[in-house]
Structure 1
C-alpha cells in the first residue's frame, strides 16, 4: 500500500462519488475506480457499498476514513516541520518521555522551549526508557525522561528527582487507617504496568517488593498508566504510581501515601555523551534549576 492509495480512498470517501473525487484529484474516473478496487482487495475488506449510482461507506470504511485522516494530518504537519527545519527557519529538538513525567517537570520544560524560542521545533515521543536509549544513540531524540537506570558509556543519565510512590485505589473502597506499609501493600491485589515491553517501571516496582523480601499479589497487568487507573476505578485492585500522578484528578480513584523504605520512583534525565548543543544545555539547565536530585 502506498500513501497515494489512502489519498484516493479519502477523496472518494468524502465525496461518495467517484466522478467528483476524480475531478478533485485531477485524474480520470476509470483509473481511480481501479485503484479503489485494488485497495479493497489489498486490505481484504469492502470499504464501500455500491448503492445504485452512488456509494456508501461500510463500517470498515468509516473507521479507515477517520483513522487515516488523522494519520495524513500528522504526516502533513511532520512534512511542514521538515521544510521549516530544512530552510533553517527552525531547529529540531526531540524529547522522549515516559507518560508519568507529564504530571511533573516535562510540561514546564516544553512551555519553556516552545515559548521563549520560536526557532525551535520541539518533537515529543512517548517511549519507555529502553527505547529512549536507542533513540538517543540514533539521533531521533536529543533528551529523554525515564524512570530506569542503565549503564551505557554513550549515554549520560542524571537523577533529577525522586518521587514518593502512592497507592491508587478505588474511591469506593474502604479508606485505610493510615499510609500503606510494604507488607500491607503486598497483600493487596496489585495492577502492574506496563506489561510490555520490559524492562520497565513494572520491574522497578517488583524490585522494591523483593528488597523487602515480599512477593506482591499481581491480579492484572496493563500496558498503559491510564489503563491501570481505569482498572483501579473498576475495582480490580490498586496500582502504585509516582506522587505527581495525583494531579490527574479522577472522581473514581483516590491516592493513599506509602511509608516503606525505598518506595520512590526516580525521574532520570538522559542525553548523549559529548553532545554540546546549546539547546540541550539550555534544557538541562532549566530542569536542574527546578528539580532537586535526591
Structure 2
C-alpha cells in the first residue's frame, strides 16, 4: 500500500465521483484512477467504494478506512516537515518583550541591531504590561524585555535604556491648553485620572510627584493603558500624566504640556534574568547605547 493510493482514495471520497476526482483534484485520467482504487481494494482485501451511474459511495468498510487514510496522510506530511527541519541548521531564536507602546520607537532599531549580527535570527515578540513581562522574565519565558523597574523581582537585572519625562495630558480645548507649562497646583481642582496598578511604576512616580508638591491628589478615575486613557480623557475631560513618548500616538483632540519646575521621570529599562547567558542577549546589552538615542 502506497501513500498515493491513500491520496487517490481520499480524493474520490471527498469528490463523490471518480471522474471529478480524476479531472479536478488529481489531474489524471479516470481509467487510471479506477485502476489505482482497485489495486488499493485488492491490497486491503475488501470493497471500499460502491460504483453506480450516480457516482460513488463509500461502503461501511470504506468509511472506516477513510478516517485512518486521512490520519496517515497527515502524519506522513508531518514526518516530511520534521525531516526538512532537522536537515536545516537550527535558527537562533530570541524572545523579546515590549511594554505596550514602547515598541513604536524601539523595535525598528532593536530589529536592525539583532539582525546585523545574527542574520537568520527568529525574534519572538510580546507586548504587555510591564509587571506581566517582568513575571515572564522570572519564569524564563522571555530572554529580555523593555519595561519599568519592577519591585520584588530580585532575579532580574536591568540596564537603563533612556529616561522618559512625564507630561500633562488633557483635551486640546481644555483651559490649560493655553499655557506653555503646567504647575502641579493647577491640577488640584481638575478631574484627574491616575494610572492603575497594572502600571505600578508610573502610578508611584505620579503619586510621589504630587506628594512632594504638597497636593492631596484625589483621582476620580483609574486607567489601565493608553487606549483607556484616551477614552477617559475624551469622555470625561480629565487630566492625567503620561510618559512623553505617548504623545506620538495621541489623537488631535488630546494635547500635552510639559511640567513646570521639577519634572517627574521614569526610566525605561532593558531587563533580563540574571541566569540568562544567551550570546544574543549579551550582544543586545552591548548595544543599549545605540537604543538610547532611538527617537520615540
Pairing of 1:104-123 with structure 2 (within 5 A): 104-114=105-115, 117-123=118-124
Shift of 1:228: 0.4
Q: Is the 8 A contact 1:190 1:238 kept in 2?
A: yes
Match of 2:180 in 1: 178
Match of 1:141 in 2: 142
Shift of 1:200: 4.4
Pairing of 1:76-95 with structure 2 (within 5 A): 88-95=89-96
The 1:114–1:185 alpha-carbon spacing in structure 2 relative to 1, beyond 3 Å, is farther
Pairing of 1:214-229 with structure 2 (within 5 A): 214-229=215-230
Deviates further, 146-155 or 222-231: 146-155
Shift of 1:217: 3.3
Q: Deviations over 1:31-81 (max 9, x none)?
A: xxxxxxxxxxxxxxxxxxxxxxxxxxxxxxxxxxxxxxxxxxxxxxxxx9x
The 1:196–1:114 alpha-carbon spacing in structure 2 relative to 1, beyond 3 Å, is farther
Match of 2:3 in 1: none
Match of 1:190 in 2: 192
Match of 1:212 in 2: 213
The 1:263–1:86 alpha-carbon spacing in structure 2 relative to 1, beyond 3 Å, is farther
Pairing of 1:51-130 with structure 2 (within 5 A): 88-114=89-115, 117-130=118-131
Shift of 1:226: 1.4
Task: State the TM-score, normalizing by the size of structure 1.
Answer: 0.62
Give 3-state SS (helix, strand or coil) of 1:162's partner. strand
Find the structure with the greater CA-based Rg: 2
The 1:168–1:119 alpha-carbon spacing in structure 2 relative to 1, beyond 3 Å, is same
Shift of 1:170: 0.7
Shift of 1:252: 0.9
Match of 2:61 in 1: none
Mapped partners of 2:215, 2:169: distance in 1: 20
Shift of 1:86: 11
Deviates further, 115-124 or 249-258: 115-124
Shift of 1:141: 0.4
Q: Is the 8 A contact 1:143 1:270 kept in 2?
A: yes
Mapped partners of 1:89, 1:119: distance in 2: 9
Match of 2:240 in 1: 239
1:230 pairs with 2:234:
no
Pairing of 1:21-40 with structure 2 (within 5 A): 23=14
What's the Cα RMSD here?
A: 3.0
Give 3-state SS (helix, strand or coil) of 2:109's partner. helix
Shift of 1:112: 3.4
The 1:114–1:180 alpha-carbon spacing in structure 2 relative to 1, beyond 3 Å, is same
Q: Deviations over 1:232-291 (max 9, x none)?
A: 233431221111112215211111111242511211221111433221122122222331
Tell me how many residue pairs correspond in the alignment: 213
The 1:147–1:198 alpha-carbon spacing in structure 2 relative to 1, beyond 3 Å, is closer
Q: Is the 8 A contact 2:165 2:265 kept in 1?
A: yes
Task: State the TM-score, normalizing by the size of structure 2.
Answer: 0.62
Give 3-state SS (helix, strand or coil) of 1:124's partner. strand
Give 3-state SS (helix, strand or coil) of 2:284's partner. helix
Shift of 1:208: 2.3
Gaps of 5+ in 1: 1-21, 25-79
